Amino acid sequence: MGGEKIRERKRDRWQKRDKEKSKRQRHREKDPHKEKATSRCRRQTVGVVEARDRRHGMALRILVRAPLLFMGLLTTGLAQLQIPASTSRGFWALPENTTVVEGAAAELLCGVSAPGSAVQWAKDGLLLGPDPRIPGFPRYHLVGDPTRGEFHLHIEACDLSDDAEYECQVSRSETGMELVSPRVILSILVPPKMLQMTPEAGTTVTWVAGQKYEVSCVSGDAKPAPDITFLQSGQILSDVTANVNEGSQEKLFTTESTARVTPQSSDNGQLLVCEGSSPALDTPIKVSVTMNVLFPPGPPVIEWPGLDEGHVRAGQSLELQCMARGGNPPATLQWLKNGQPMPTAWGTEHAQAVARSMLVMIVRPEDHGTKLSCEAHNSVSKGIQERGVTLQVTFPPSAITILGSASQSENKNVTLSCITKSSRPRVLLRWWLGWRQLLPTEDTVMDGLHGGYISMSNLTFLVRREDNGLTLTCEAFSEAFTKETFKKSLTLNVKYPAQKLWIEGPPEGQQLRAGTRVRLVCLAIGGNPDPSLTWYKDLRMVTEPRLPQEPRRVQLGNLEKSGSIVSRELVLVTSPSDNQAKFTCKAGQLSASMQLVVQFPPTNLTILANVSVLRPGDALNLTCVSVSSNPPVNLSWDKEGEKLEGVTSPPRSAPFKGSAATRSILLRISSGDHGHRVTCRAHSTGLRETVSAFYRLNVLYAPTIRALQDPTEVNIGDSVDIVCTVDAKPILPGMFNWERLGEEKEDWSLDDMEKLSKGSTGRLRIHHAKLAQAGAYQCVVDNGVAPPARGLVRLVVRFAPQVEHPTPLTKVAAAGDSTSSATLHCRARGVPNIVFTWTKNGVPLDLQDPRYTEHTYHQGGVHSSLLTIANVSSAQDYALFTCTATNLLGSDHTNIQLVSISRPDPPSGIKVVSMSPYSVGLEWKPGFDGGLPQKFQIRYEALETPGFLYMDVLPPQATTFTLTGLQPSTRYRVWLLASNALGDSGLADKGSQISVTTPDLDQPSEEPDYQLPTEQPAGFSDLPLMPMLFTVGSLLLLFNASCVGVFLWQRRLKHLAEGISEKTKADSKEDQIRNDYEESQWTEDLDNQSSTVSTKDMEPYYHSMKDFIPQLPSTLEEVSCPRGFTSHEEENMVFPGHLYDEVGRLNTPSGTWGPLYDEVQLGPSDLRSPEDEYENPNGIYDQVAGDLDPMDMDSLPFELRGHLV
């Protein structure tokens, strides 16, 4: 209804404004000067009106009217133009001021009295033309009947551009004069299209009740400026400020209004509306926001069940509801107990705007005086609203206690006290004995817990035997607890003693054997309580065994009652401790006793020894002690059934009223006594029973090796255990030890082997066996009893053959005249035994041919094959022979070239090994000797001195020599020549020459790394200045030697061919082979004859063991020639068995044994120095040309000169 009234008032105001505008226009036509004055007066009036309206709160209306008044004044001024008086008289219809809304059609009237005249309209002075269609203005055209003088201007869909002054003009004509109608104003009203509200329209704003807020509302472009009104919950707001501003186009205006709002709780959920009204609007436009007004809730209310608020009983379930109405947001409720929050839930009913919370609690006595309060508040509450209630709790005593003992002897006073727990209100106490009430001695009331009271009543009375078993009751009562009774009762126990006590059991003095089951019963008559029957044995209480695993020799029965008789049984299995023991049963002051007599064998038979560790030869004193027996026993000794005599001691008293006996013996211990049992027997004649104990002789003895696997064989790369089994006492975990036996200390290391032992067996485990691990090992067993046991075992590492390759091609020289013989030597190492095969130029050799003879032999792992070729022919036998060695694990081969005898090959590898100012030590490698004995000669020269000097190497076959007679700080060139009976090696080989410079006297002499002894004439080194004399002497010696050689050559020439071709006997062959092994090993191929295979540059397959074991003799497969030795250190060590059955057991004398697969060894008598070798340089092929003296090649017969190959 308020909005309709506003619209009606606005409509009336606009109609009145239009009338005033028409009136002003008429006055403007009459007196323009007066109109101007009137306009000024009107403006002053507007200011006065505005001031008056502002004082009355009408500022918004005045601001809206001001532009309209301005337009009216403007119209009035335009209307004051000079118009002829006859103008209006030529029109029968004049246009009027017209107002239309934007978009509507407008029509201005113009009726001319003189038809036929040219009529046109002018817009703001612009002539539109007489054409009725008005070109250029599609929405403009003239309507009406021109013949009747109707020239009305019709405008379609008016917009703001049509807002102007219009006049109708009639041009001069024959029938009339020129006419101009009064100017009229066409006003276009533009309605506002929108209202913009802050806060944003359509939203919900949250405000707090009582606080001021500003809301602004701005209209869109409009003409005239719209009026803006604010409505809060349907009521017009008065505190509003409005401003009119120019719009986005000319003639358009906007209105901005700001309202100050103070929301109240009643505005919650209501609308705040901004309403814009204008003459161009039929209905005002509106925008709004929804007000969410926050306001505090009302005070909380507690709904108490019942009439007496705060009064409650302990144990009751109390349910209290707290309620708070109103509030936005709804109230938050919180229950407090003495100011402390309680965990409760609460809910809200938004429809009724009510918050509720239910408190449920079980009331306890300690809640007395507790204040329960409910608080209500929300986010805008300025304070917390609270409602509280204080609890007044009624509670009975939680318990009644009777202090004192209800048990008393007859005819004595009993004193008791009855005390209650705290109660509210207080309770009264009374006593009952059976159905008889007893008067208390004293009643007392005290303050209790939780505001309650404690009641106490004391009672003293005399008890009699007939009161036994009656119920004594303390009762508490109060008017507040009429429906409840609180009691505490006791049963009165009046005590009085038993009348008689006795024991039933075996007859007094009866002899019982240990282990007999005996039953004793104790009986008593009368008494309260029932007599507590207790058994005692010699003043000690009898109890059951504590541990379940102990034998149950005593069984103590429970008290049993039959009528007025009480009994308790004691069942025991008699033992020595029961002998003459006194068994007593007690019941209070009464007691009864019985004594038993028990016979028993020795309780303990012990053997004592004077020593703990026994060794053969020790004297052992054993004493047998029978601790206690009844009756006495006789002691005797025996060892493994053999009776022994001993010394008996007189009997003596012992525990359990028995007697003790002792008997001793003396034994002499031997190793055979280990494990024997020495037994002591105690015989009881009365019991006809014998008890025995034994002492086992534990004799410690040194270990003895029972089994040792010798030899132990393993393939190279495999693993094997060397097992040693012993018999010893004691057997210790770490008693086994192993030693590696060899010449060098480094051979003794067992780091790469694993030592194991278990019981009486020890093991040496070898992983991935290597050749270097082969040899002798010693098992040493020491258990702490001397002497330790030692056992030797040989480890055989089996491997494929390895043929010795001293040079890429081994040469053997022989005369090819079909009368000489040649022997080819092939040596290989390998285990097991090796089989040799020979080929010539790749073709297998037929050993059935009588020209070929093969002899094989071996010593340890070294195997040799000697192939002798008789009647050597240069055409047939100068060839490449191949020796192949084969065993189960593989094969290997080497090549030997059979050639003619020739000059020696040049030596190679000459080098300086020491140097001094006067001498140079030289070393070299000899070349092939051409099949004849060779010797060496040194040729040297000083570069500053012309001429050469020569010096023979002594001994002839030495490979080291010290060249003396040199000068300090001198450069020399040295050549080395090799020569035999056919000539020398020449000087062309670069490996046989070297240049040296001797040091100054100030420089220290360089000691050679090693030097073999060489023969030099006495005092030769003292003559460094006589090299020429030494050369002359050497030539003379060579000349004499040549003469002697010619003489010897003539003597032996005729036997030379026969000696070469004749087959040697087996014994001489054996010596020859043995010498070959000896020279090849001990001289390290220093002689380097054609038949010798060098081992200098090769590692030995097995290490020598000559430091601890004797030599194995060389053994030919055709002829056995054993050779032994005697060693002081090892004379008690014997190796049983042999290595390979196919070789044959050696007839080794007892007490000797040889090395296992070592290189060829020599006995002590065979050891020779290099000087001895020079004195007797016989080798395998010395028969060929061993005795030939050096001479020219032409002096030899043709058959000895050899043939070219």
- Rounded distance between C-alpha atoms, residue 179 and residue 69, angstroms: 31
**What pLDDT does residue 122 have?**
94
**What pLDDT does residue 480 have?**
82
Q: Which whole number is the average pLDDT over 237-263?
A: 92
Q: Which whole number is the average pLDDT over 829-840?
A: 92
**What pLDDT does residue 138 have?**
92
Per-residue pLDDT at 747 exceeds 80? no
**What pLDDT does residue 206 have?**
93
**What pLDDT does residue 5 have?**
54
Scan for tokens 């009374």, then name that residue: 430
Q: How confident is the model at residue 51 (pLDDT cuts 50, 70, 90)?
A: very low
**What pLDDT does residue 86 have?**
42
Minimum mean pLDDT among 416-430, 499-513, 924-938, 1186-1200: which range? 1186-1200
Per-residue pLDDT at 74 exceeds 70? no
Per-residue pLDDT at 551 exceeds 90? no
Scan for tokens 């703990």, then name that residue: 612
**What pLDDT does residue 1195 have?**
41
- Rounded distance between C-alpha atoms, residue 252 and residue 192, angstroms: 10
Q: Tens digit of pLDDT for each residue in 1020-1074?
A: 333 344 445 555 556 666 666 655 554 554 444 444 334 333 333 333 333 333 3
Task: Compute φ and ψ for 466, nearest 5 degrees.
Answer: -75, -15
Give me the helices (H) in 1064-1201, please: 1066-1082, 1170-1175, 1182-1185
Peptide bond into 224 cis (omega under 30): yes
**What pLDDT does residue 989 have?**
64
**What pLDDT does residue 909 have?**
87
CA 1179 vs CA 84, 448, 1058: distances in Å: 180, 134, 18
Q: Tens digit of pLDDT for each residue in 637-690?
A: 998 888 888 888 888 888 888 899 999 999 888 878 888 899 999 998 888 889
Per-residue pLDDT at 1152 exceeds 60? no
Q: How confident is the model at residue 96 (pLDDT cuts 50, 70, 90)?
A: very high
Q: Which whole number is the average pLDDT over 616-623?
A: 88
Residue pair 831/1157 in contact (Cβ under 8 Å)? The answer is yes
**DSSP result, 134-163:** -TT-TTEEEES-GGGTB-EEEESS--GGG-
**What pLDDT does residue 1132 have?**
36
**What pLDDT does residue 90 have?**
82
- Which residues, 6 or more positions from 1033, have their beta carbon under 8 angstroms from its beta carbon? none
- Rounded distance between C-alpha atoms, residue 97 and residue 22, angstroms: 7
Greater pLDDT, 15 or 911 = 911
Minimum mean pLDDT among 185-189, 587-591, 813-817, 1107-1111: which range? 1107-1111
Query: Coil, strand or helix: which one is 872?
Result: coil
Minimum mean pLDDT among 269-283, 505-519, 721-735, 1039-1053: which range? 1039-1053
Per-residue pLDDT at 112 exceeds 80? yes
**What pLDDT does residue 712 have?**
92
The predicted model scores a pTM of 0.38
Q: Tens digit of pLDDT for each residue in 984-1009?
A: 888 766 667 899 999 998 876 544 43
- Which residues, 6 or more positions from 1006, have their beta carbon under 8 angstroms from its beta carbon? 914, 915, 916, 999
**What pLDDT does residue 10 have?**
54
Greater pLDDT, 1194 or 15 = 15
Minimum mean pLDDT among 921-925, 976-980, 1174-1178: which range? 1174-1178
Per-residue pLDDT at 815 exceeds 90? no
Q: Tens digit of pLDDT for each residue in 1093-1132?
A: 333 333 333 333 333 333 333 333 333 333 333 333 333 3
CA 219 vs CA 192, 241, 831: distances in Å: 6, 14, 125
Q: How confident is the model at residue 860 (pLDDT cuts 50, 70, 90)?
A: confident
**What is the residue type of 146?**
P
Q: Tell me the percentage of the chain whose pLDDT exceeds 70.
A: 74
- Rounded distance between C-alpha atoms, residue 1080 and residue 1083, angstroms: 6
Residue pair 1107/977 in contact (Cβ under 8 Å)? The answer is no
Locate 1004 and state its tokens: 């220290």
Pairing of strands 689-696, 677-684: antiparallel
Q: How confident is the model at residue 1168 (pLDDT cuts 50, 70, 90)?
A: very low
Q: Tens digit of pLDDT for each residue in 316-341?
A: 888 898 999 888 888 889 999 998 99
E strand or H helix at 804, and its extent? none
**What pLDDT does residue 72 have?**
39
- Rounded distance between C-alpha atoms, residue 906 and residue 989, angstroms: 7
- Mean pLDDT of the chain, nearest integer: 77
**What pLDDT does residue 875 have?**
87
- Which residues, 6 or more positions from 488, have their beta carbon under 8 angstroms from its beta carbon? 400, 401, 402, 418, 473, 474
Q: Tens digit of pLDDT for each residue in 265-312?
A: 889 889 999 999 999 898 999 999 999 999 999 899 998 887 788 888
Cα-only R_g, the chain: 76
Q: Which whole number is the average pLDDT over 66-94?
A: 50
Q: Which whole number is the average pLDDT over 370-397?
A: 90
Minimum mean pLDDT among 138-147, 715-724, 769-778, 1142-1151: which range? 1142-1151
- Rounded distance between C-alpha atoms, residue 173 and residue 167, angstroms: 19
**What pLDDT does residue 762 have?**
93
Residue pair 433/470 in contact (Cβ under 8 Å)? The answer is yes
- Rounded distance between C-alpha atoms, residue 386 and residue 369, angstroms: 18
Inter-helix orientation angle 59-78/2-30, to 10°: 30
Query: Coil, strand or helix: which one is 974?
Result: strand
Local structure of residue 711 (DSSP, 8 states):
S
Per the document, the length of the chain is 1205
- Rounded distance between C-alpha atoms, residue 526 and residue 1161, angstroms: 114
**DSSP result, 40-93:** HHHHHHHHHHHHHHHHTT-HHHHHHHHHHHHHHHHHHHHTTS---TTTGGGEEE
Minimum mean pLDDT among 163-177, 220-234, 672-686, 1109-1123: which range? 1109-1123
First CA to last CA distance, the chain: 154
- Summarize the chain as % helix, strand, coil (round to 5): 15, 40, 40
Locate 135 and state its tokens: 């070109």
